[in-house]
Amino acid sequence: MPDPGEERLFFGRRKGRPLRAGMQRRIDEDLAVRLAPVETSAANATDPKAWFPQRPRAVWLEIGFGGGEHLAWQARHNPEVGLVGCEPFVNGVASLLRHLDDVEGDRVRIHPDDARDVLDVLMPESLERIFVLHADPWPKRRHHYRRIVQHETIARFYELLQPGGILRMATDDPGYLVWILSRITAHPTFRWAGSSMADFTERRDDWPETRYEAKARREGRMPVYMEFRKPA
């Protein structure tokens, strides 16, 4: 775990256009009951199953959930799973809260800030799946250090996944794709879960489209889908 006195830099947007009254009300009234208790968990490595009133069978983590479409879909279709989503962009958080209206049970926790705060406090082998979908590619070379996918985060993902656990990533940026693959293949144990080129170009049945993916397609950029597994 990091030195609690160490200052951590955050890069990226926290706010976009002003929220409409209804969306602001969701932030003001609905977010508090869904917050991941990261600060109270920071003293010790934490089992995220304890963050839910009824312990789920497994916990999945999504880093940068954008508008929340994917996370909410997974929550609706996996009622035995608890989901933790990280997203510092307040407009995206409000969007997810709206999508959760038709999700039964109290099975989603939100950290509206830097995902590394969550990565730092979780105990090893406490996650069954991790999703990093269409993260900001920070295309300028001088900004590459800002990318969420780094050698150290790949190592941390591996540590947090259970044996047999899955890491899913997607991008429509060719440069970021090369960056991701060079870092995941540098890890000595992560294994690609696919078997053909179609596994890069076609989404799985349980991998719903996000608004960012749809936007990329409209603009002529083809998303690439990657799934890696920690050996059982």
- 222/201 Cα distance (integer angstroms): 8
Residue whose tokens read 């969007």: 95
CB-based contacts of 138, cutoff 8 Å, min separation 6: 11, 144, 146, 147
Evaluate whether residue 6 is within a structural domain: no
Q: Which two three-digit tokens encode residue 193?
A: 């879960």
Please report the pLDDT score of residue 22 as a whole number. 74
Annotation says 206 is catalytic: no
Nearest to 127 by CA among 165, 175, 87: 165
Q: Which two three-digit tokens encode residue 49?
A: 């199953």
- 132/176 Cα distance (integer angstroms): 12
Evaluate whether residue 196 is within a structural domain: yes
Please report the pLDDT score of residue 16 as a whole number. 58
Evaluate whether residue 1 is within a structural domain: no
- 17/227 Cα distance (integer angstroms): 34
Tell me the residue range of the domain where 57 lies: 21-229
- 166/122 Cα distance (integer angstroms): 16
Q: What is the pTM of this model?
A: 0.90
Evaluate whether residue 25 is within a structural domain: yes
- The CATH number given to whatever domain includes residue 94 is 3.40.50.150
The amino acid occupying position 110 is I
| Span 33-73, pLDDT tens digits | 999 999 876 667 899 999 999 999 999 999 999 999 999 99
> How many other CB atoms are there within 10 angstroms of residue 162's CB atom?
16
> How many other CB atoms are there within 10 angstroms of residue 179's CB atom?
18
Evaluate whether residue 45 is within a structural domain: yes
Low-confidence ranges of the chain (pLDDT < 70): 1-16, 41-43
Catalytic position from the list 136, 173, 199, 205: 136
Evaluate whether residue 61 is within a structural domain: yes
What order do you get walking across the sheet with 127-133 strand by strand? 108-111, 81-86, 58-63, 127-133, 161-171, 224-229, 191-192
| Span 190-199, pLDDT tens digits | 999 999 999 9
CB-based contacts of 81, cutoff 8 Å, min separation 6: 56, 57, 58, 59, 60, 74, 75, 107, 128
Evaluate whether residue 181 is within a structural domain: yes
* Overall domain count for the chain: 1
* Pairing label, strands 161-171, 224-229: antiparallel
